[in-house]
């Protein structure tokens, strides 16, 4: 699994002009499932999202998690994170999971995040979405459950 994590002051997602998810302080997370991903990959990603210390403490150091600061997560499915642009001019998506499998893991991620008592808003799986945010910092991280980066 691959995610792009952005620390935000606010973020929202719209589908067909309607806001379907909105958060204030927290994490905007773009989430992609790979063809070979397993439950262990899901556990790794969710644990990182909830516990990654990227919010400032009283000394201004990144030492607090989204859970510590009472923040929320806006989780957006984005299979293009598994796009391969190394050859040619059109990305290949051979490493992305099939849509039905990806959606199962996406929904499982939402439920797992909520089990940590972290509010989790979502987009609409496989929909064309407009995502807007105010990145705080800016702070952005890439995470791959295979520890490729």
Exactly one of 38, 80, 130, 140 is catalytic; which is it? Answer: 80
Task: Provide φ and ψ at 88, rounded to 5°.
Answer: 65, -160
> Comparing C-alpha atoms, which of 123, 107, 12, 114 is closest to residue 75?
123
Does residue 79 have an active-site annotation?
A: yes
Does residue 141 have an active-site annotation?
A: no
Does residue 80 have an active-site annotation?
A: yes
CA–CA dist 67, 110 (Å, integer): 15
Exactly one of 6, 78, 121, 122 is catalytic; which is it? Answer: 78
The number of helices, as runs of H, and strands, as runs of E, in the chain is: 2, 8
Exactly one of 12, 79, 121, 122 is catalytic; which is it? Answer: 79
Would you please indicate which residues are annotated as catalytic (active-site) residues?
78-80
């Amino acid at each position: 699994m691959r995610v792009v994590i952005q620390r935000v002051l606010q973020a929202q997602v719209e589908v067909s002009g309607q806001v379907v998810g909105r958060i204030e302080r927290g994490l905007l997370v773009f989430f992609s499932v790979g063809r070979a991903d397993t439950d262990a990959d899901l556990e790794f990603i969710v644990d990182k999202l909830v516990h990654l210390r990227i919010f400032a403490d009283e000394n201004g150091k990144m030492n607090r998690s989204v859970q510590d600061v009472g923040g929320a997560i806006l989780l957006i499915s984005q299979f293009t994170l598994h796009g391969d642009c190394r050859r040619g001019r059109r990305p290949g998506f051979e490493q992305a999971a099939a849509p039905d499998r990806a959606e199962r893991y996406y929904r499982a991620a939402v439920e797992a995040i909520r089990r940590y008592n972290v509010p989790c808003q979502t987009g609409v799986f496989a929909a064309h979405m407009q995502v807007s945010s105010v990145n705080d910092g800016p702070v952005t991280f890439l995470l791959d459950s295979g520890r490729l980066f």
